Structure formats: structure tokens, C-alpha cells
Amino acid sequence: MIDQDVLERVLASAVSSGADFAEVYAEDKRSTSAGLDDRRVEQVTNGRDRGAGIRVVSGDTTGFAYTSDLGEDGLRRAAEVAAAAARGGGGGVRRIALDPSPAHRPNDVAHPPDTIDKSRKVELLTRMDDAARTTGAEVVQVSAGYGDSTKRVLVANTDGVLTNDEIVRTLVRVSVVADGDAGMQTGYQSMGRTVGFEVFDEVEVEELARDAARQAITKLRARPAPSGTMPVVIERGTGGVLFHEACGHGLEADHILKGASVYAGKVGEQVANPLVTLVDDGTMPGEWGTLGFDDEGHLTQRNVLIEDGILTDYMWDFLRARKEGRPQSGNGRRQSYQHLPMVRMTNTFVLDGPDDPADIISSTARGVYVAHLGGGSVNTATGDFVFGMTEAYLIENGEITEPLRDGNLIGNGPKVLQDIDMLGNDFAMGNPGTCGKDGQGVPVGDGQPTLRVKALTVGGTAS
Amino acid sequence: MSDDLLALAERVVERARPDEQVEAFVTRGGETEVRVYQGEVEHFVSAESQGVGIRVIRGGRTGFAYAATLEARAVAEVLDEARDNVRFGTVDDFAGLAEPDGVPPTEQVLWSDELAGFPTDRKIELAKDLERRTSATDRRIRVDDADYADAWGEAAVASSTGVRQAGRENGCYVSVSTLADEDRGDGVETQTGFGFSVGQSPDEFDLDKAARQAAERATRLLGARKPPSRRVTVVLDPFVTAQFLGVISSTLNGEAVVKGRSLFRDRLGEQVAAAGVTLVDDPTDPRAYTATDVDGEGLAARRNVLIDGGVLQQFVHNSYSARRAGVSSTGNATRGGFAGTPGVGCLALSLVPGQRSQEALIAQVGDGLLVQQVQGLHSGVNPISGDFSTGAAGLLIEDGELGAPVREFTIASTLQRMLLDIDEVGGDIDWLPMRAAGVSLVVHDITMSGE
């Protein structure tokens, strides 16, 4: 994308006024998306996003500028703006010698999206539409989407790092509306992987569509969710967002260093039930949060955050690790070249526990069974977090009974981690997610076995 | 100036073939963001970007493409790709670009030369000043970060159907996030708050008010407990009402209506809200943060009364949803930049305010709950079924006055019921930096789920 000698000159000019670190992050992304709604393929879109962000650090101050001009002049102008913002103490000429890292891909891509005819991508949409509509006469509306992107990324910095990566993403999603006597209901399914079109050899898109339709139809006879605090069982592969919110964000080093997390100063302490081992792993082949290198050119890795309930470490990016004089953990990420990197999760999941999932349900006298979760959010400083349930059922006398209408659940992270009293042995990864933080969205994965929280507050309207 | 953008858009449109409609949307913009932490600049971002999105419609089929550059060769490539993408669309008899409707845009002052020339060191000083003032409000307050941000943008849209519009705007804000700590013996309790001030130019900022609000929001939640579950009458703080209106707006969206996804789709002319509720979308009101002269398709933005005295009057439309519904565009095409085609949405919602202050509303309610913040509007609210459930924090109302702080509970109802259960709209309208204005709102029969 940019020649090595150009990068070396741009980086040298960025630190010529005395800054201690400079970095170029360049991307060239081509994407295709297609949308179907109301029985019509509304449009196919092609996009091209290309540019570089330049970061210059002096002490605790970061200057940042970006440009869509990847020529040497454009890069130098951006470097000047970024350097002016991070004025260093002295001046002087530093020679920058980059040391290119060998390519590193967590997984192969058999059929890159740009080699696939667009008509085959569009066909997935009509297949989902047909499958959803034939699931039941109650289905009144279907919207389906397809998206792929191929993003080439280059990171170079004054520490000599030079990495090149190519990230391929393929995603489908389907939303269904069903109509009945008590009004409309909705269902949703999605699938996203960091692989190419070969994913559709394994994944049958009709199945996703039928599942979304089934959710919507089932909820037509749903009753209002209960109101109050009770045991909540969360189905495998759907509740990763619980950990993402209950503790994941609170274990990001930027919140820790500002004293804005309930988990600050707790390394080595028992922060969760001993059943819980929580891992963030950016190396898992094909998963939605997987990267070869993070967005600061650091190899992604597997980080154990909580082991048998004991907090072992936080997640780190370049700046926070440098401040603490410790290694980065491969968690420096950004939405695009127009954004500064910060500490972010990759694929965050809880390992298997000892329990048979059937026992978890049968040993719950009364509670809620959550089969499908929506999004969530957390206040890291208080630990209070919410997440939505989009398919849930009552548990009565150890059995799953009636479907419930949508609602939020609320809990406090440190307390909920202690309150996980049963953990299944049926681990599964969940749906592709987008994690929002400080205005930036990045793709993340999550996963967990079926589990029970002995007390969570369910935000329904029924007594 | 945006003249060169309009010229570029026109050059694209001139290449339209006789059997096709072509629209080009071209933007250029820039931003500055300063974040201050403990008296030092933590980061300073300064950048510009541009891009073009091109829509082609031929034989009822639509294709689209975009690129984040205005380079002539790339623009030509985008037009080719949009044309190629037409092949894959389904024929839609309603597909078509907006046509000029003769409604003149309301003149608006959207550009400030003062902001455009505002020097960088003063931007940094503003953020530092806000951090200092906030820290000084209360000894229990720490500042998480203090920000100054501004942005400017120019946009032009041209179409083979005769639309020609170009304009520019800029704006700025400061914001501060706070942490309030109190030692509880067995550990330190922390609560959070935020404050902000917006302006067409920095001289409109009220830093003291932003600092005071950020401190008050955090400190008044200290000691908050989880309340018992019960039904209550709530007073929504203006900031919460604005978020609630944002949810309501998706049920009044013409595209959702024509596609059968709005729970109000068959309710025109019916009583859908309490008699005291009049809801207006008016981007021509200069007090609105999102005031604008034209919509995303280049038609004049206009004042639309959506609910009048509780009766549903109309939905909002862009040209496509209007054509399908058999009405005219209400000037409500939205556009999230050059990378997408126009959607439909409310541009500047507000409830027609009542007379009384929040204090008076609280006294009237007597026993209830002031909702200061909600959490999870994106996860627990379903605008299609109408289910409404969010996390919340606030203060109990006891004997007509603010009482103990509460947190870690949810409030729930349905959108349909909440609109009918509105007892009173406050007089304290606040033009927040959102697509809806805030105002205190009293709603009865809300389920509070806690212990």
C-alpha cells in the first residue's frame, strides 16, 4: 500500500520535533453489501474506503490526524498536523528503520469475496426470504442483508514495527416480523465469520431464516415478562454478551488506569464464582473478533482474564502498557483509519463448567430461560449493566414453559459474577457482535456454555 | 466553498443516460476533538475527509456505490459500479429519485465564521477550563475526561430529476464525564455523571452549567440502593424524554408504515396519546440542534405536526415511502453521509411544552420516581411490538419532594400505553444535542422492577 522507505521518512518527520513515538495505520477496504426488504432486493452497494491515520505521542499527549491521500505528501501533511498537536520537548533527527513482520493469518480464506459473482450473494437473500415466509403464515415481513469486506491493513511505527494484514469478513442477517391477535413480534438471526464465501458450504442460510421466523411466531403467544429478581438460565452461545458487559469492559486497562472500573486494584482477588474462567482470544480461526495483528501491529493472543474465579489480568493496548511498563496483550483496536486505537475485546468467552445443561433447567424451580439475547451496555465505574432478551421463556417447576415478551435484564457485574451458581459443559460461540465504545464500533465474538445466575432483575411488567 | 462540490455532483449527473435516473451526493468535512485529563491534553484529533455516493435507477431497479475520495477517476468508477449494481435489484414500480416540489427552503444560519476561525489553543483552553471548573464543584468529584469538539461539513446533491442543493454547516460542543466517590467503610462507592454545552460558536457555551450538571448527576446518586418492585408514576428528566421520543419516532417513520412494521400503521386520525400531547417535527426551528434547510434528498425541510392533541395526524416520508403511501414527501429523507442511500426519519422532534417547572411536576406527583438516566434503550425496547423495558437510575419522589437515590432497576411498559399514560408535559423544554428536544414528562403506571 505504501513503500517502506516512504513510511520511514514520514515517521522520521513525525518525531522530528521531539515526540517519542509515531505510527502510521493505513487501510484499503473494499466492501459489498446487498439488502432485501419487503420481497425486493432493494440494492447492491459497493464501497471503497482508503486512508491513513497518523498518531504522534509525546509524554501523555497524543496527536492524531488522518488523510485519504496515501501519497508521501499527503502522509507528511497529516504527520505535521498530528505532530503539532503533540509538541515534544526538543528536536533532532531520528532515523527510523522498519523491520517487516512475516505475514501471519489466523486462518485461510478459500473463496475471497471479490472472486464471487454478486448474483450469488444476492441469491442468499432471496433464499432467506423464501425460507422465512414458508415457515408460517404469520410471517408478514422479512428483511435480509448480506455484507462482505476485504480490508488490507498496514501498521508501521517508530519502534520499527511494520505489519501487513488482510482481514476478510462475510456476514448475513435476517429479521422477521410476524403478526397475530396481540400485535406484531420480531425474530432475528445472523452469522458472521472472518472467512470468505466458503462459509456457505457449511452454513445453511435457510436455517437462520427459519429460526428467526420461529422466534417471531413463538412470541405471538408470549406473555409479559415477569418483574423482579429471580434465577435466570442463559442458553449456550447466546449469553457471551453477559460477560462482555458484566466484566469485559471493566477489565479494559484504560478504564482501570483512570480508576473508572469496579475491577481496578483487584488482580489476584476472587471476583467470580470459582466455576468461572474467562478468556479473551483474538487468535481463534474464523471467529468474528479474530485478527492476525491488532490495530497497533501487535500479534493477537489468548489472554486468560479470570481463572477459577480469580482475576488474573486486564486487557492492554500500546499506550496503557507503556505507561505501566508491561507487555501489550494484542487488544489495541480501532474502527478505521479515522479513529484512534484503544483497549478493546476480541473474542471473549467463558470455558465449560461441570454441569449437564438439562440439570441446570430441572433444578430451577421458578425463573427465566433466555434463549436469545439482544445487545447490552455497562457503566464500568458502577458495574451496573443491562442486556436485552429477545427470546425467553418462563421456567416453572424445573421445566421451560411459556414464551415471554422482550425486555431488559439488569444486574451489577461483580455481584452477578459471584452469583453464577451453575455452569454447563456445552460451550458454544455466539453470533457476530459489534461492540461500541466511545463512539467506535468494532467486530467482536463471544461464547459461553449454558449457565445460571441465581439472582438477576428481570425488567418485565407482570408480577 | 460547496460550489465545487455541486459542480462535481452536476458533472456526474450530466452523464445520466436517457433511460436512467442518476443522483450524486458529495460531502467534505472536518473535525477537531480535544480530550483533556488532569490538566494535560490526552489526545488531539484534527482531520478532514470527503466522499461521494451515487445512486442509479433504471427500469425500476436501483444500484448504489460510494468511495471516500473525490478523485475524478474514482468518481467515474463509482458511477460504473452503481450502474453495474442496478442489474441485481428487484424491479420496484415506486423506485425513483426525489423531484423538486416547489417548497422553498427556510433560510437558516447554519455556519459560523467565528467558529471556523477559532484558534486551536483556545479550544484546548476551553476543555482545560471545563475540567478545572468541574473538579472545583465538589470534593467528591473526579473528572474522567473533558472534551472540546467541533465539526464542519459541506454537502451537495444533484439529480437528473432536477434537484440542485448545496450548503455547509458547523457546530461545536464541550462535554465532561465525572466520577463521584464516597467511602462506605467496606469500600468506595462510585457514581457517574456527565454534562455538556453546545453552540453554533464557542461564545455560546455555558461551562459552569455543564460542570454543575456533571457534578450533580453523579453526586446525587451516591448512596443509591436497589428499590423494591412496584408500579409508579414517573417524571422523566428532559434528557430521558428526548431518548424516549427517539424511540417513538421509529413508529412514525413512513418507510416502517408502508412496509407494515409500524405499530401505528392503521391508526391515522385516532387517539394514540393523551390529549395533552402534541408532537412536532420541525427542523426549521432554529433552536433545534439538528435544524436544517434541506433534507437528505435536497427537498426543503419543513414543519410537520405528527400528533396533535393526542390524535395521530401523519407519518414522515421521503420521496420513495411517500410515493408508495400515495402522499407527498414531508422532507424527511435522512442520510448518514455519502456511504448510504437516503432513509426516512424525524429530523428535529419536540413535544409542545406545557407550563410548569419540573419542581412543580414533582410536587404534583407526590409519590413516584424521577428518572435521571436510562440504560439499554437499544436492547430492551422493541419499537415493532411496542415492548419498552430499560435499566434506570434516579431519585424517589416522596411527599412531593426528591428523596432517596435508586439504581439497578428497570422501568417497563409499552410504547402504546406510555403515550396514553402521559399526565403532563413540563414547561422546561431543553434543546439538546440530539434529534429530539428534551422536556420533563409525567407518565403513570410504569412498572419498576427491583428487589
Top residue of B387, B411, B417 to mutate, by most chain A CBs within 10 Å, is B387
Contact of A291 with A328, CB cutoff 8 Å: no
| pLDDT > 90 fraction of chain B, expressed in percent and rounded | 95
A44/B89 Cβ within 8 A? yes
pLDDT at A425: 98
Could you give the angle at which helices B207-219 and B120-135 cross, rounded to 10 degrees? Answer: 40
On whether any CB of chain B is under 8 Å from the CB of A230, the answer is: no
What integer is the mean pLDDT of B100-111?
Answer: 95
pLDDT score at A89: 55
- Return the number of other C-beta atoms located less than 10 Å from residue A425's C-beta: 14
Per-residue pLDDT band for A399 (boundaries 50, 70, 90) equals very high
**Which residues in chain B are contacts of A177 at CB distance < 8 A?**
260-261, 384
- Residues A70, B69: Cα–Cα separation, whole Å: 11
In Å, what is the CA distance from B440 to each residue of B193, B235, B410, B425, B446?
19, 7, 19, 6, 16
Q: Give the pLDDT confidence score for residue A322 in this predicted structure.
A: 96
CA-CA distance, B87 to B91, in Å (whole number)? Answer: 10
* Greatest C-alpha distance within chain A: 76
pLDDT tens, residue by residue, A22-52: 999 999 999 999 999 999 999 899 999 999 9
A412–chain B Cβ distance below 8 A for any pair: yes
Taking Cα atoms as reference points, which of A23, A341, A67, A56 lies closest to residue A156? A23
Residue pLDDT, tens place only, A65-96:
999 889 999 999 999 999 987 775 555 677 88
- Which 8-state DSSP code applies to residue A300? P
Cα–Cα distance, B146 to B131 (Å, whole number): 6
Percentage of chain A exceeding pLDDT 70: 99
What's the whole-number mean pLDDT along residues A328-334? 97
Residue listed under C-alpha cell 527510523: A96
Give this complex's ipTM: 0.91
Chain A residues touching residue B381 (CB < 8 angstroms)? 406
What is the arithmetic mean of pLDDT over A278-289?
A: 97
Q: How many CB atoms lie under 10 A from the CB of residue A302?
A: 14
CATH architecture of B3-219: 2-Layer Sandwich (3.30)
Burial class of A260 by CB neighbour count within 10 A (0 to 12, 13 to 18, 19+): buried
pLDDT digits (tens, 9 = 90+) for B255-291: 999 999 999 999 999 999 999 999 999 999 999 999 9
- Suggest the residue from B389, B413, B443 to mutate for an interface test with chain A (most A CBs closer than 10 A): B389
B122-126: average pLDDT = 95
**CB contacts, 8 Å: A85 with chain B:** 41, 43-46
Only one residue has cell 427459519, namely: A210
Q: Would strands A40-58 and B61-67 be described as parallel, antiparallel, or unpaired?
A: parallel
CA dist A133 and A129 (Å) reads 6
C-alpha cell at A172: 448475513
Q: What's the first-to-final CA gap in chain B, in angstroms?
A: 59
Q: What residue in A sits closest to B45 (Cα-Cα)?
A: A64
Only one residue has cell 436455517, namely: A207
What is the value of pTM for the model shown? 0.94
**How many A-B residue pairs are in contact by the CB < 8 A criterion?**
259
Give chain B's mean pLDDT: 96
Query: Which residue type, as a one-letter code, is found at position B434?
Result: M
pLDDT of residue A86: 77
| B contacts of A377 (beta carbons < 8 Å) | 375-376, 378-379
pLDDT digits (tens, 9 = 90+) for A113-139: 999 999 999 999 999 999 999 999 999
Q: How far apart are CA B330 and CA B314, in angstroms?
A: 10
User: Residue A96 has what pLDDT?
Assistant: 86
The per-residue pLDDT for range B335-389, each reduced to its tens digit, is 989 999 999 999 999 999 999 999 999 999 999 999 999 998 888 899 999 999 9
Contact residues, chain A, for B412 at CB < 8 Å: 225, 227, 407-408, 459-461
* Rounded Cα gap, residues B86 and A122, in angstroms: 12
What average pLDDT does the segment B406-422 reach? 97
Residues of chain B positioned with their CB less than 8 A from the CB of A252: none
> Shortest Cα distance from B184 to chain A (angstroms)?
14
| Nearest of A155, A40, A229, A395 to residue B228 by alpha carbon | A229
Q: Do A457 and B386 touch (CB under 8 A)?
A: no
**Rounded mean pLDDT of A51-67?**
94
Q: Name the residue ranges covered by the structural domains of chain B.
A: 3-219, 230-244+353-449
Mean pLDDT of B106-120: 94
Cβ burial, residue A334 (10 Å; 0-12/13-18/19+) = buried
Q: Give the least confident one: A83-87, A117-121, B197-201, B222-226.
A: A83-87
Question: Chain B closest CA to A427's CA: distance in Å?
Answer: 24
